[in-house]
Chains A and B, each alone.
Chain A
């Protein structure tokens, strides 16, 4: 990959503009075309580089449900808070740092920690097992949140706890699968998605061929990209080149991604988890879009071990994160954006997360002229 000059980027934008016109002519529809990215790091890259402002008016780049923290349903946060505050003796909650500030109905895990809950930030699922081994008399619950990229780590943690018989370790899973969400997004009538800019690191695990079914079934090109502006532009150009020539395929412009993905990781996911219905913020319940522990590992399910109650999927009053995640609303269209909701005092997860669409729009402001509806 070479660093492109501004001139080269402008030339690429001109080609993209030309392809947009050809694609619209072929489809016989009025513009603009919509390309959705479903990766938090892409969201940040597009906002930071101001790409939306460089591209043709015939094309909108739309942020989708790519940030794992943002898509995690409110009911999961409330359950984690219940676990942290109401279960006695209090377990240690081991979580990735991104989750700590996400507000639930009764505050965040950070606030719970200030009130005496035992919340430990870990950088890997394995570290949560280490904490369990070092605190044999205390239950340790790992909050297994994220897409296919983080799920193999959670699977390995469960396998380690199983093999080493670690009785005080369990997980509360909200692992998500990206493909069912992409299909759900396409069923929305009020958001135009002509192609998907597919996530780089999820695709390292699942491989770029995994999107072939969506590309074929829904006639939407799916192209994996890396994480800088030239990569994003290359993916956008590849998507539009397909649309302009009447093709819809899966492909990758990111060299780190293979066609088949990481076979060992996929094996592990299949060994430990089974696909199940999952609740997504904004998208609601989607069949087979989550990962549940297989029966053989059921003793590591924190929900069963602690008899955790179900919580309703409450919306945060005034917060439009659900609409933002689905591409129905640009962050600046939310009444709370920039006033009651800022990165310092965030109301919704899309502002809390460093990869959230609202945080990106707030940080990079006028550069990001995305779709306002």
Chain B
């Protein structure tokens, strides 16, 4: 339940964004990151983006996750 996954925001409509996670298109709720823009990376936890990441931090986290999962 603690796990959060980096995802790149591809579209934004209202408080909802879309991105791709493990090959699937997913909806990401953006209420907690009002500053987010298309093409930003976010850390997604339980359906919600909880922070905006730098591309470098997103890649580093994805590398760790690919080792874990």
Contacts and interface: CB of A to CB of B under 8 A. Distances in A.
Contacts of B57: 1, 255-256
Given A201-B50, A204-B4, A256-B53, A152 B64 contact: no
Interface in B54-69: 54, 57, 60-61, 63-64, 67-68
B50 A152 contact: yes
B22 interface: no
Nearest to A254: B57
A205 B2 contact: no
Contacts of B46: 96, 123-125, 146, 149-150, 153
Contacts of B64: 226-228
Contact of A355 (B2, B47, B63): B2
Contacts of A153: 29, 45-48
Contact of A264 (B1, B34, B61): B34
B51 interface: yes
A226 B61 CA distance: 9
Given A201-B4, A204-B43, A262 B50 contact: yes
A69 B1 CA distance: 8
Contact of A124 (B29, B34, B60): B29
Interface string A197-232: 001111011000000000000000000001110000
B33 interface: yes
Nearest to B63: A3
A264 B32 CA distance: 6
Interface string B1-34: 1111000000000000000000000000101111
Interface residues of A, number: 45
A17 interface: no
Contact of B45 (A1, A67, A150, A228): A150
Contacts of B2: 39-41, 66-68, 147, 149, 199-202, 355
Contacts of B54: 255
Contacts of A69: 1
A129 to B, nearest CB: 11
Interface of A: 1, 3, 39-41, 44-45, 48, 66-69, 96, 98, 123-127, 145-147, 149-150, 152-153, 156, 199-202, 204-205, 226-228, 255-256, 258, 262, 264-265, 268, 353, 355
8 closest residue pairs by CB, A with B:
A124-B47, A1-B60, A228-B64, A41-B2, A201-B4, A153-B48, A265-B32, A68-B1
Interface of B: 1-4, 29, 31-34, 43, 45-48, 50-51, 53-54, 57, 60-61, 63-64, 67-68
Given A156-B48, A200-B2, A256-B57, 10 more contacts: A44-B68, A48-B68, A124-B29, A124-B48, A126-B29, A255-B54, A262-B32, A264-B34, A355-B1, A355-B2
12 contacts: A45-B68, A48-B68, A146-B46, A147-B2, A149-B45, A152-B50, A153-B46, A199-B2, A201-B2, A256-B61, A264-B32, A268-B31
